Amino acid sequence: MYGNILLAVDGSEQNKDAVRQAVSLAEKLGSKITAVYVMPNTDLKPNMFGGDVGAEERQAITEKSAKEAFDFAEAMAASKGIGFETKLLFGKPCESIVAVSGDYDLLVCGTLGRSGLAKLMGSVSKSLVQYAKCSVLVIR
């Protein structure tokens, strides 16, 4: 039924609950997980990172966040023997995730994000429920 799970990750503490739920579900159903992280392709506002940083430094911070999010999800999946892949996308979170959602049976996401994206994730999860091309499980 849900053989391929798309898991939206953002590296936040709140998102770890979504990772845990996706792994638990995948273990019970024998599913494979693909974790997706969306990197903004627009200039990030300096105050998102607590100071005035240049574009290269913002890029490095975002890439580090993506790696940490992927590493956590991969470790959780590996601990249960679950097949796991990553997908790094660039653009707006909702649009990017919706664009690939049709390739999966279920999308798992949280309601809160981190840093400047924190305020957006609530609206992103609502939009994902509305526009995703597969079933959506939102973890609170």
pLDDT tens-digit map of 29-84:
999 999 999 998 755 555 555 555 677 888 888 899 999 999 999 999 999 999 99
pTM of the full structure? 0.85
Query: What domains are defined for the chain?
Result: 4-139 (3.40.50.620)
Please name the residue that has the structure tokens 């470790």.
Answer: 75
Residue 73's pLDDT is what? 98
Query: Among 11, 14, 1, which Cα is nearest to 139's?
Result: 14
Residue 122's pLDDT is what? 56
Residue 40's pLDDT is what? 83
Other CB atoms within 10 Å distance of the CB of residue 28: 10
